[in-house]
């Protein structure tokens, strides 16, 4: 018996309809995803541009408020969403870890942290915006947009966080022209520590023990002062025991800790914002604080700005002599150890010239003599450069001198300890080589540094000699250029001097005699690039 097959017509229609619905859904998701991706790429460009604009402003000496406004102005040119302009948060970081909590996170130009944050090393921007959803939300009540975010971080190559427009720091890797990790002590009268081309940072305390002393940034420069108070004197970050002493900032001034006036006619003054986080005790008369109304915000501690700077190395005749040993398979032909070199080697000529190399010590015993240093790296292996006579001159007529003060191991230079650049700490320290001026009317006219480093005097970071630069006599005239870097070493003035012009990075400063000036009013000394890779405005 033959059966008829039942005819099934039209069943393909619902299948095709279902396929069209699925394809339409994929198309909708693709369109929404494409729109979101396009908006996120645009906003990432906005984040990058805003971070770079703020960084560029700081490099030109702008305030943090001006840098914030620069970021917002750039963002407003491109950063618009379907429902409202995007929101831009500008973050300022004072440590090398820009992934942590920013020292200042501003969403408004009136944010208080913009006027009391110093030492900015990175600027970050976080952009919040919306992207249109054409199909994802069919119900208008649910909204037709969703939130997207982007961010960027740019590195500050010079710091003008307390400067004025048009100023620039002479130190592109540091937030300060004068950086003192420890303490500044004035034990004699009419001494001055001054910066004119950048900020002053003091990690510990400032103690005025005599009269008419000053710690200041040059008037009109706009540069600020930060005293972090990581160590204190009798519990005070700033203490006045002498009279007519002044702490004066041409920009912002931050004191983290307590202040004690224990004499008369002393002063604290800031042209910009003033913050004193602790208490002020006034046990004297006619002492002043200006402005009288000041904030109580804390001052962030700073780190070694040159911690990553490699120790000097020397290349000659195709051979590279790496610090601190300066040896290639025992070959000392190109870079010999000259031992204890003394001027004069014979008689007392009016001038003599020495070449780069390793020296256990260099001693000048002739008056009115000039010792010329040819360009290159001079390694002092544990001893000292000592000027014992009067009216002598250390000169570098051809420029390009770097003097590296190490510790000794036999007759060869050696590290003074193990230095960890990421934390700027030494596992151990040793008192090593130093510069000592015993003769009066000494002129130091050295142009640093070798091979474009701009470093003039580089002390092994773990060289803990607190007399690393010891000015024991009167009328020491320092007219050279280049950076003085002594992470663990100190400066001690025991005679009237016109000191190191800066930039200056040291552990401690002691004024133990009268009428010494350390620093520069003009800020004309330029550090230049000292790290292996130049710091720049690179988006991270």
341 lies in the same domain as 470: yes
- Spell out the SS3 assignment of 149-188: EEEEEEECCCCCCCCCCCCCCCCCCCCCCEEECCCEEECC
Task: Print pLDDT tens along the chain (540 aa).
Answer: 555 555 555 567 766 666 765 665 555 556 556 656 666 677 777 788 888 888 877 766 677 888 898 888 888 876 766 655 778 889 988 776 677 788 899 999 888 888 778 777 788 888 887 766 655 555 554 445 556 666 777 777 543 333 332 233 333 334 578 889 999 999 999 999 988 777 889 999 999 999 999 999 888 777 889 999 999 999 999 999 999 999 999 888 999 999 999 999 999 999 888 999 999 999 999 999 999 999 898 887 778 888 888 888 766 556 666 665 555 445 555 566 788 999 986 789 999 999 888 899 999 999 999 999 999 889 898 999 999 999 999 999 988 899 999 998 776 788 899 999 888 999 999 999 999 999 888 888 888 877 767 788 999 999 999 999 998 877 888 877 788 899 999 999 887 766 666 678 999 999 988 888 787 654 433 333 332 222 222 222
List of residues 6+ apart from 142 with CB closer than 8 A: none
Q: 333 with 279, same domain? A: no
Shared domain for 478 and 362, answered yes or no, is yes
Helix, coil or strand: residue 207: strand
Residue 43 lies in a domain: yes
Q: Distance between CA 387 and CA 397 in Å, rounded?
A: 19
- What's the rounded Cα separation, in Å, for the pair 218 and 164? 13
Cβ atoms of residues 86 and 80 within 8 Å: yes
**Owner of token pair 């190191």:** 500
Among 442, 447, 459, which Cα is nearest to 387's? 442
Asked if 197 and 523 count as a contact pair (C-beta separation under 8 A), the reply is: yes
Cβ(480)–Cβ(520) under 8 Å? Answer: no
Identify the pLDDT of residue 58.
Answer: 78
Whole-number Å distance between alpha carbons of 355 and 377 = 9
For the CA atoms of 43, 45, 49, 51, what is the dihedral angle to 10 degrees? 70
Same domain, 281 and 421: no
C-beta atoms surrounding 285 within 10 Å: 11
209 occurs within a structural domain: yes
Same domain, 231 and 149: no
Please tell me whether residues 321 and 469 are part of one structural domain. yes
Closest CA to 411 of 361, 452, 448, 461: 361
CA pair distance 477, 388, nearest whole angstrom: 15
For residues 371 and 353, what is the distance between their CA atoms, to the nearest angstrom?
A: 6
Q: Considering its fold, how many domains does the chain have in total?
A: 3
The last residue of a domain, from among 123, 155, 187 = 155
In a domain, 35, yes or no: yes
pLDDT value of position 421: 87
Q: What share of the chain is helix, strand, coil (3-state, %, to 5)?
A: 15, 35, 50
Domain's final residue, options 465, 483, 501: 483
Is 358 part of a structural domain of the chain? yes
SS3 category, 193: strand
Shared domain for 237 and 281, answered yes or no, is yes
Tokens of 122: 């990175």
Burial (CB < 10 A; 0-12, 13-18, 19+), residue 436, is: buried
Q: Are residues 145 and 225 in the same domain?
A: no
Confirm whether 166 is domain-assigned: no
pLDDT score of 339: 87
Cis peptide upstream of residue 123 (ω within 30 degrees of 0):
no
Q: Is the sign of the CA dihedral 34, 36, 41, 46 positive or negative?
A: positive
Clarify whether residues 446 and 377 are in a common domain.
yes
Spatial contact of 458 and 435, defined as CB atoms under 8 Å apart: no
Mark whether 283 and 422 lie in a shared domain: no
d(CA 370, CA 364): 9
For residue 131, is it within any domain? yes
Which domain-ending residue is among 483, 500, 531?
483
3-state secondary structure 76-88: HHHCECCCCECEE
Return the bridge partners of 505, or none: 179, 485
Whether 142 and 25 map to the same domain: the answer is: yes
Cβ-in-10-Å burial (0-12, 13-18, 19+) of 166 comes to: exposed
Residue 509 Cα distances to 191, 221, 260, 315, angstroms: 12, 23, 20, 34
* Domain assignment present for 169: no
Q: Hey, CA dihedral for 325, 383, 526, 401, is it positive or negative?
A: negative
Q: Which domain holds residue 260?
A: 178-290
Residues 193 and 320 in one domain: no
Q: How far is CA 457 from CA 377, 453, 454, in A?
A: 10, 11, 9
Residues in a beta bridge with 463:
430
Nearest to 242 by CA among 326, 309, 305, 185: 185
Asked if residue 521 is part of any domain, the answer here is no
Maximum CA extent, the chain: 140
């Amino acid at each position: 018996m033959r059966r008829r097959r039942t005819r099934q017509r039209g069943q393909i229609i619902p299948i095709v309809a279902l396929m069209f619905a699925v394809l339409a859904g994929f198309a909708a998701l693709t369109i929404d995803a494409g729109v979101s991706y396009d908006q996120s790429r645009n906003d990432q460009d906005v984040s990058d541009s805003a971070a770079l604009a703020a960084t560029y402003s700081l490099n030109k000496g702008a305030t943090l408020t001006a840098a914030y406004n620069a970021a917002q102005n750039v963002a407003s040119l491109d950063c618009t969403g379907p429902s409202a302009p995007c929101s831009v948060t500008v973050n300022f970081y004072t440590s090398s870890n820009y992934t942590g909590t920013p020292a200042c996170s501003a969403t408004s130009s009136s944010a208080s942290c913009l006027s009391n944050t110093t030492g900015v090393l990175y600027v970050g921007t976080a952009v919040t915006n919306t992207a249109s959803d054409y199909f994802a939300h069919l119900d208008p009540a649910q909204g037709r947009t969703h939130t997207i975010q982007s961010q960027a971080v740019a590195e500050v190559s010079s710091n003008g966080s307390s400067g004025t427009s048009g100023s620039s720091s002479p130190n592109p890797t540091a937030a300060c022209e004068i950086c003192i990790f420890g303490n500044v002590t004035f034990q004699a009268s009419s001494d001055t520590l001054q910066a004119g081309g950048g900020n002053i940072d003091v990690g510990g305390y400032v103690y005025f023990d005599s009269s008419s002393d000053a710690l200041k940034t040059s008037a009109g420069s706009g540069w600020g002062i930060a005293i972090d108070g990581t160590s204190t004197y009798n519990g005070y970050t700033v203490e006045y025991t002498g009279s007519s002493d002044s702490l004066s900032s041409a920009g912002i001034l931050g004191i983290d800790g307590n202040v004690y006036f224990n004499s008369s006619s002393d002063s604290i003054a800031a042209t910009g914002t003033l913050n004193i986080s602790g208490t002020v005790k006034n046990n004297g008369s006619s002492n002043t604080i200006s402005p009288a109304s000041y904030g109580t915000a804390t001052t962030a501690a700073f780190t070694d700005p040159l911690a990553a700077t490699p120790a000097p190395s020397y290349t000659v005749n195709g051979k590279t002599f790496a610090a601190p040993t300066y040896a290639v398979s025992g070959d000392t032909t190109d870079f010999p150890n000259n031992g204890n070199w003394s001027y004069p080697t014979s008689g007392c000529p009016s001038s003599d010239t020495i070449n780069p190399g390793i020296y256990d010590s260099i001693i000048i015993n002739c008056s009115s003599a000039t010792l010329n240093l040819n360009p290159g790296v001079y390694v002092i292996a544990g001893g000292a450069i000592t000027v014992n006579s009067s009216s002598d001159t250390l000169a570098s007529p051809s420029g390009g001198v770097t003097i590296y003060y190490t510790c000794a191991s036999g007759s060869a230079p050696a590290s003074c300890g193990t230095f960890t650049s990421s934390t700027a700490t030494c596992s151990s320290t040793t008192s090593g080589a130093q510069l000592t001026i015993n003769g009066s009317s000494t002129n130091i006219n050295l142009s640093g540094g070798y091979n474009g480093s701009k470093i003039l005097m580089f002390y092994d970071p773990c060289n803990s000699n607190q007399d690393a630069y010891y000015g024991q006599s009167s009328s020491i005239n320092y007219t050279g250029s280049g950076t003085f870097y002594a992470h663990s070493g100190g400066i001690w003035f025991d005679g009237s001097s016109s000191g190191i012009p800066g930039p200056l990075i040291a552990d401690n400063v002691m004024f133990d005699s009268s009428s010494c000036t350390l620093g520069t009013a003009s800020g004309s000394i330029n550090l230049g690039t000292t790290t292996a890779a130049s710091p720049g405005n690179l988006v991270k």
